[in-house]
Amino acid sequence: MEYNKKSISELRKLYSENKVSPSEVVSFCLDSINSNDSKIEAFLKVFYEDAMKRARHLDGESPEGKPLYGIPVAVKDNICTKGYETTCASKILEGYRPPYNATVVERLLDAGAVIIGKTNMDEFAMGSSTENSAYKITKNPYDTEYAPGGSSGGSAAAVAASMVPVSLGSDTGGSIRQPASLCGVVGLKGTYGRVSRYGLIAFASSLDQIGPITGTVEDSAVVMNVISGRDSRDATTIPDPPGDLTESVGKGPEGMKIAVPRGYEDLDIADEIKEILKGTIEKLKAENASVEFVELPDMDASIACYYILANAEASSNLARYDGVKYAFRAEAESLEEMYERTRGEGFGDEVKRRVLLGTYVLSAGYYDAYYKKAQQVRAMICSKFESLFSRYDLVMLPTVPGTSFRIGERIDNPIEMYLSDIFTTPANIAGLPAISLPAGFAENGLPLGIQLLAGYAGEAKLLRGAAVLERIYGFNRYKEE
């Protein structure tokens, strides 16, 4: 039995019936990684010995009260794991071993999960292709000449290649949803503050969120149940729990009001996505959901606003990496030279580009013209979404404009690369929950994704709608062939 191709609910059923043990499942997944990851390169580190040790310990425990009992989970390399190297795929953090676990890692372990390894990413989560890693380039499991997306490309590829059933990513402007779309898996970003950021190495603190990448919507709900909740170590966390999100997954769309961008046929997106949207609208109406066309907040304004604010916050957050306290330190004759050489040698080109842009928009002469104006645009976008979600339950739109792109195709064209986030950044700007799920395939055989957004703290509605679309599309990576 291929345990690496089972959903969480299927594995839990096997465990409860004593048909398999955690050590058997984890061993199977580790064998899958060992066989397949040389082609995909999703992992930076795999904890072979410690994962098996943890699994054997679970063999002697009951699965009761542990919703992720024996479930192998991969974790993006910007999420702190105690005693295990956490580098953000950057040379500047090479050798850094955090003395603590991120809150999400603690909650996974408390729920019975087995942390199987750390996944590759764009350096400091800055990128949309996972080509900006200092260590390797992750490939798309559907075609290894293509990128998996980013910055959580390693996490998405690990699930898409059936090496693990669950991974965690981080989403600053679409970095969970975009690679989920390009790799044909489910990627969920919660409301800002739904999941603690304690132990997430910061890129842009007002935008970053941790979330699950899974094979099914139900699996995303299970994981989100575990990792959500108030955390005294993160003052931005939402005090009210979301409730049991799995209860929303089995409900139909009757009575739901869904908004779709007016004139989506004229958007610069693949024809296959337009056809998917058209067919989805018809099927939702046939199931007594209300679908209306609306004007959405300006996408161009959202992405411009995002890249000003994100880079400004990155400039501030990454100032701490100067060779004094963390990991890499360049040899130098003076303190100033050490700063310059450490950052010059330790950071990659994309990180340098964003730090320079962020420093520029925060400088005295340009603060009002760029940063202040971007904050004003952000307030306007938030207000428009608040008004929209007072009338509608969900917004449906593409996740990305099309399918994946060839590795190397956009690496020298940052503007084109940035525009792949045009449909995902609004949810981060407004702090809203959003999910991408696989909707089909293009003629070239690569996956296509559709995205749903909900209002503040609207994860239950979001997952209800996503489960409906999952059924409509009939895409279940765990169904029997």
452: tokens are: 């749903």
Q: Please, are residues 411 and 131 in contact by the beta-carbon 8 Å criterion?
A: yes
Domain ranges of the chain: 3-249+430-473
- Look up the pTM and report it: 0.96
Tens digit of pLDDT at every position of the chain (481 positions): 788 889 999 999 999 999 999 999 999 999 999 999 999 999 999 999 999 999 999 999 999 999 999 999 999 999 999 999 999 999 999 999 999 999 999 999 999 999 999 999 999 999 999 999 999 999 999 999 999 999 999 999 999 999 999 999 999 999 999 999 999 999 999 999 999 999 999 999 999 999 999 999 999 999 999 999 999 999 999 988 889 999 999 899 999 999 999 999 999 999 999 999 999 999 999 999 999 999 998 888 999 999 999 999 999 999 999 999 877 999 999 999 999 999 999 999 999 999 999 999 999 989 999 999 999 999 999 999 999 999 999 999 999 999 999 999 998 888 889 888 999 999 999 999 999 999 999 999 999 999 999 999 999 999 999 999 999 999 877 765 4
* CA gap 412, 297 in Å, rounded: 29
**CB 254: neighbour CB atoms within 10 A?**
10
Helices (H), 6-150: 8-16, 22-40, 48-59, 103-110
DSSP string, 163-188: S-SEEEEEESSSTTHHHHHHHTSEEE
CA angle 216, 198, 351 (to 5 degrees): 85
Q: Which of 354, 343, 364 minimizes the C-alpha distance to 309?
A: 354
Angle between helices 48-59 and 22-40 (to 10 degrees): 160
* CA gap 255, 1 in Å, rounded: 41
* CA gap 136, 130 in Å, rounded: 9
Distance of CA 16 to the CA centre of its chain: 30
Q: Which fold has domain 3-249+430-473?
A: Amidase signature (AS) enzymes (3.90.1300)
Q: Please, are residues 89 and 131 in contact by the beta-carbon 8 Å criterion?
A: no
Q: Please, are residues 261 and 294 in contact by the beta-carbon 8 Å criterion?
A: yes
State the catalytic residues: 76, 151, 175
Single-letter amino acid code for the residue at 227: I
